[in-house]
Amino acid sequence: MRNIIIIAFFFLSLNLFSQKEPIKVVFDLTSGSPDVQRSTARHLRLMSESYPTSEFELVVYSSAYSMVDINSSVAGETLREIINNDNISIVVCQNTMKRNKKTEKDLIPGVGTVPDGIYEIISKQKQGWGYIKEGK
């Protein structure tokens, strides 16, 4: 009986130390693949729900522009659900927008812009953010 109590106490004490520390993660998305865009939105939603005190930023650029386009996003429904979460920001590269001849009016409401997607990612990494490259 004593051993059972000791083992139970051990496992209960492990639970005390399993508190999740807040993290900061930047997601890098360049893929125009609808499957990749849907899974990226799903990853962002699940991470945000699992780690509500953490911060997440999705940086969209290059061929991934369509993910944040108000008229053509395959992940628009999920993005609209999570865009106002306090711990999520979604930004698109202004250079990518220029190449696609798009303006902020063409974006899903709540999507922000950054001058350069790659520079944004590098800046976040320099600040200690984790990095996830989304893709196949």
Q: What is the CATH number of the domain that holds 55?
A: 3.40.1260.10
* Counted domains in the chain: 1
At residue 7 the predicted structure's pLDDT band, cuts being 50, 70 and 90, is: low
At residue 83 the predicted structure's pLDDT band, cuts being 50, 70 and 90, is: very high
Q: What are phi and psi of 19, to 5 degrees?
A: -55, 140
CA angle 120, 129, 53 (to 5 degrees): 115
Is 10 among the domain residues? no
Indicate the residue type of 124: K
Whole-prediction pTM value?
0.85
Decide if pLDDT at 8 tops 90: no
Is 127 among the domain residues? yes
Question: Token match 């696609």: residue?
Answer: 100
Higher pLDDT, residue 108 or 19? 108
Is 47 among the domain residues? yes
CB 47 within 8 A of CB 129: no
pLDDT computed for residue 79 by the predictor: 96
Is 3 among the domain residues? no
- In the chain, what percentage of residues exceed pLDDT 70? 86
Is 74 among the domain residues? yes
Nearest-angstrom CA–CA distance, 102 and 11: 55
Decide if pLDDT at 9 tops 60: no
Is 8 among the domain residues? no
* 115: exposed, middle or buried (Cβ count in 10 Å: 0-12, 13-18, 19+): exposed
- In the chain, what percentage of residues exceed pLDDT 90? 83
Is 18 among the domain residues? no
Q: Which domain holds residue 58?
A: 23-134
Q: pLDDT for 21-45, tens place per residue? A: 899 999 999 999 999 999 999 999 9
Is 48 among the domain residues? yes
pLDDT computed for residue 1 by the predictor: 54
